[in-house]
């Protein structure tokens, strides 16, 4: 059967990964969480001391990019395709608010994007892939057959993320999560290289008040129509 590429973009915590995983499962496609890759590079920079009180030492990070090796591997305990950084499973630390607070300036670096976009394009070269991020429909796979642009109010998104972090046992306040969501929205959509924007031809879905089942059915019917065409 014909395989397609599904590109999902949108602001932080719009539920991109939830729908992406559901679609991949229904269609038997692979799911790639491109945000995990930017988070892993950020975690690397933090561990190396390239991010501190002075901000981000971009030159040092760019100089060390060839020392970063990334791959996804199934983690039977977490039941996800976990992000591995230089052989270490970093799935838990990359999801913390601490990493979320540093990731956007790292993701704004053209050199970082160049490296990760090349890897993402390779992962999706055979099609049959669902990838979510900020520039998937605009830069990574501009020819994707199905492009989605998810939105929801900042308040809805911050509540979702706050609940996720609290459920994982992180000590965070709703106010700091909301601030982080808003700051990332701003940086991600105003950066010079590949800013977040709705791709041409993307279907926009505001899921503030939409149930997961309704959203999946709607998108799945688009995908199936494209596969059959």
Residues engaged in binding ligand CDP (CB under 6 A): 12-13, 34-35, 38-39, 103-104, 107, 133-136, 184, 188
**Residue among 155, 112, 160, 101 nearest 135 (CA):** 112
* Least distance from ligand CDP to the Cβ atom of residue 229, Å: 27
User: How far apart (Å, rounded) are the C-alpha atoms in residues 32 and 180?
Assistant: 23
User: How far apart (Å, rounded) are the C-alpha atoms in residues 37 and 204?
Assistant: 25
Nearer of residues 47 and 221 to ligand CDP, judged by Cβ: 47
Nearer of residues 2 and 186 to ligand CDP, judged by Cβ: 186
Nearer of residues 135 and 145 to ligand CDP, judged by Cβ: 135
* Least distance from ligand CDP to the Cβ atom of residue 224, Å: 25
* Least distance from ligand CDP to the Cβ atom of residue 152, Å: 11
User: How far apart (Å, rounded) are the C-alpha atoms in residues 203 and 124?
Assistant: 20
* Least distance from ligand CDP to the Cβ atom of residue 136, Å: 6
Burial 104-137 (b: 16+ CB within 10 A, else e): bbbbbbeebbebbbeebeebbeeebbbbbbbbbb
Nearer of residues 79 and 228 to ligand CDP, judged by Cβ: 79
DSSP secondary structure code for residue 202 in this structure: P
CB 227 within 8 A of CB 170: no
């Amino acid at each position: 059967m014909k395989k397609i590429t599904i590109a999902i973009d949108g602001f932080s915590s719009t539920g991109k990964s939830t729908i992406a995983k559901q679609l991949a499962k229904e269609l038997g496609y692979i799911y790639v969480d491109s945000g995990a890759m930017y988070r892993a590079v950020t975690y690397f920079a933090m561990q190396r001391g390239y991010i501190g009180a002075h901000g981000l030492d971009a030159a040092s990070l760019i100089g060390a990019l060839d020392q970063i090796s990334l791959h996804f591997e199934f983690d039977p305990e977490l039941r996800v395709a976990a992000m591995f950084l230089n052989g270490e499973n970093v799935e838990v630390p990359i999801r913390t608010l601490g990493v979320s607070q540093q990731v956007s300036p790292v993701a704004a670096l053209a050199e970082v994007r160049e490296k990760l976009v090349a890897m993402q394009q390779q992962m999706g070269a055979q099609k049959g892939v669902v990838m979510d991020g900020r520039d998937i429909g605009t830069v990574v796979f501009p020819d994707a057959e199905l492009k989605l642009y998810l939105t929801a109010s900042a308040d809805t998104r911050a509540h979702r993320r706050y609940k996720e972090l609290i459920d994982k046992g992180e000590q965070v306040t709703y106010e700091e999560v909301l601030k982080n969501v808003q700051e990332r929205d701003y940086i991600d959509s105003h950066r010079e290289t590949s800013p977040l924007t709705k791709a041409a031809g993307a279907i926009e879905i505001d899921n503030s008040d939409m149930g997961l089942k309704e959203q999946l059915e709607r998108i799945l019917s688009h995908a199936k129509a494209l596969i059959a065409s």
